[in-house]
Structures are given as C-alpha cells and as structure tokens.
Structure 1
Amino acid sequence: MFEKGLSQAELGEPLFVSGSFIGQLEAGTRRMHVELAAQLDEVLGTNGFFTRSCAALAKSRWRRRWPPGSGSTHSS
C-alpha cells in the first residue's frame, strides 16, 4: 500500500524495533500500538493512516480476536 523502498530493518531502525518485529506487524502476528502507529505515520508520511487504523481496531468487536489464531476472546 505505501511504498518507500525500505527494508524491514531500515524501517525498524528509526522506530527502535527490529526488522523481524516489522515483519510480524506486516504479517499480522503482532498488534500495533498507538505510539508505534504515530511513529510509522511520521516516518512513512502516511498522514495518520496507521494511527486511525489503531483507533478503529480499538473500537472494533474484532479486537478481542487479535492476533488471528490466538483463540483468546479477552480484551487486552
């Protein structure tokens, strides 16, 4: 969706996370927190896309089933 030509490691560097962590976010096996979403918006110049997505997920009834396959129905 947003192409900046960065590797996962290059994107993770200014966010102080590993390339592996970025890959887990991309794959949907890690939940993105609002603070990281805001940093991603800044680094990628996405005008609040990730922050808005986090806010929408927080309001969603599907939030309880995230990440996929967790089997948990508890809010975190």
Structure 2
Amino acid sequence: MKVNCPNCKKQIVWSTDNEFRPFCSERCKLIDLGDWAEENHKISQGPQGVQELSEEMLDALEDQFLQNNKFFVESE
C-alpha cells in the first residue's frame, strides 16, 4: 500500500521495513517533531466537559479517524 508522507507528500510504501513511517525519511520525521516543539502544531483547546462515550460513539469516532488518516488503514 502506498501513502503520502505527511510532511513532503512524497508517495512511499507503507511497510515495516520503513522505520520512519508514516514519514518518508528521518529528515521529514525530524521536521515534524520540530514543528511540534516550536508549537506550530498544537491542540487548540482542552476538554470542554466530561462526557461518557458509548460504544456507538467510539465506533463513529474510529471510523471518522480512519477516513481522515488513510495511512493507518491496512491494505486489503
């Protein structure tokens, strides 16, 4: 299965042989880490309130996450 590197968008093969996945290289991995360290990426808000999640809610969240993050989906 091929995925795009989150940093440079280069297509790479999703494989256990790639120690930098989902990135294409150590360079892209370190660039992303640096962006987090410099707070270029951040979670803008904390939790707004405590809400118990049902199994249906968790399933819906998982489906939404997998649709938006195709590199986590295993090839068929």
TM-score (norm: length of structure 2) = 0.31
Structure 1 or 2: more strand by fraction:
2
Structure 1 or 2: more helix by fraction:
1
TM-score (norm: length of structure 1) = 0.31
- By relative contact order (CA 8 Å, sep 6+), the higher-ranking structure is 2
